[in-house]
Amino acid sequence: MAQDPIPTGRIAAIRGAVVDVGFSGGSLPAVDDALSAARPGGGTVLLEVQAQLDGSTVRAIALQGTAGLRRGLEVAPLGGPLEVPVGAAVLGRLLDVAGTPGDRLGPLPADVPRRPIHRAPPPIHAAGGTAELFRTGIKVIDLLTPLAHGGKAAMFGGAGVGKTVLVMELIHAMVAGYDGISIFSGVGERSREGHEMLLDMTRAGVLDRTVLVYGQMNEPPGARWRVPMSALAIAEHFRDEEGRNVLLLMDNVFRFVQAGAEVSGLLGRLPSRVGYQPTLASEVAQLQERIASSGGASVTAIEAVYVPADDFTDPAVTAIAGHADSMVVLSRAMAADGMYPAVDPIASSSVLLDPLVLGEEHVAVAAEVRRAIEHYRELQDVISLLGLEELGAEDRRLVERARRLQRFLTQPFTVTEAFTGIAGRSVDLADTVAGCRAILDGEADGWSEESLYMVGTFEEARAREEAAGKAETAA
């Protein structure tokens, strides 16, 4: 039996981004349904229902600026959740939370298909699992925290340790060899970052296989809160309807949680731990559980996560970490030492680091690299107080190899080429494993540490060492 359409309502109250709407017909729009409020000077403001206050009033959060709205204005229910444009028409476009283009390339076609932003995740029996490696060409990630097709990789780090640069490099590293669709979701991004991303994609010639979806810092919390859902709706269309693999890049998932906390406060909910919304765990789960493989195609997510005050016990950080298959932890101490990418080899982890998936040699080398670096860290206080000379011969040899491994796992990035003057390198996984094995076996014991810093393969480091030796001999 079809439900009667809900009649239009009227704005009863406005408090910033919170709008109360009264309906007189007896039936109310459901929670998460979209409403459209008409502005007096033309245009509309999208709202999303968050609560039914009584038999005739709903409380909604604005997804766009509420300037110009006033009590008594007409509000039309849209008959369900907000729908965003999907399909081939959105490729190469920059969209906002509602799917409106923001790139001056004109409006989307009138017949573009649309998909609701709220949707249940695929059932467990339909979600396909895969153990296929997602190769990035970044040594430290491929060796120690390998990413999986259809998996979720989260990059955790405080302010200024290189999360966005790492995500940008992953885009550069993978667009050439990746034949699927890339969707970039900018959550609480600066306008400058969005503009730079658009220019970079255009220069790289990959914009025609990419969709950019932004909810910027200057937009209301509702827009920043819902923009990942809009990006997911587009990703799910390519996965389910077109059978395409999708790479979903999100920067920054913490700002999604932050926007949810702002919305929760505006709606008058009591805060939970550390001031976060009481619905933190379920909101993160609603987003993360939709990222899955289904029907032979996959959505692979790479997410940057800001860690407030470098506190990895923050409730938002732990809630997001619980859903990640690969955790790439960025270290401020390593960044301060110039070890870029500043990936902490001890704190980072991946469920894929298994001999049955990657082979015995890869896992053995990764374990030995971790062990050597961990041993070096244990001895750092002793070295600082007494000096390297006071260590035993075995410890000294292990420390020297660990320092060389740390330097070998650094890598020049394509996206930083303009600042460093060093051409970016992409390294094959076999070369990374072979290089680390050579260092562990002592092949680089007599080398200068500088020869291994910011290089690609071990052979490149060998050539640099030999060139330095010849220059010294000539001098």
Residues forming the active site: 163, 189-190
Residue 455, amino acid = V
- Which neighbouring-strand residues pair with 250? 185, 303
* Contacts of residue 193, Cβ cutoff 8 Å, sequence gap at least 6: 164, 186, 251
66, two tokens:
């509420």
49, two tokens:
């229902």
421, two tokens:
């003057």
The number of CA neighbours under 13 Å toward the Cβ of 263 is: 28
Rg from Cα positions in the chain = 26
3-class DSSP state for residue 44?
A: strand
Measured distance CA(38)–CA(56) in Å, rounded = 20
126 close to 134: Cβ distance less than 8 angstroms = no
Query: Residue 330 carries which DSSP code?
Result: B
Q: Rounded to 10 degrees, what is the CA torsion of 397, 400, 402, 405?
A: -120
**103-114: buried (b, 16+ CB within 10 Å) or exposed (e) per residue?**
eeeeebeeeeee
211 close to 234: Cβ distance less than 8 angstroms = yes
Q: What is the DSSP string of 56-120?
A: SEEEEEESS--TT--TT-EEEE-SSS-EEE-SGGGTT-EE-TT--B-SSS-PPPTT--EEES--P
Measured distance CA(293)–CA(300) in Å, rounded = 8
**Which H helix or E strand runs over 13?**
strand 9-15
**Which H helix or E strand runs over 383?**
helix 360-386
30 close to 3: Cβ distance less than 8 angstroms = no
Q: Select from 64, 116, 112, 115 the least CA-distant residue to 90.
A: 112
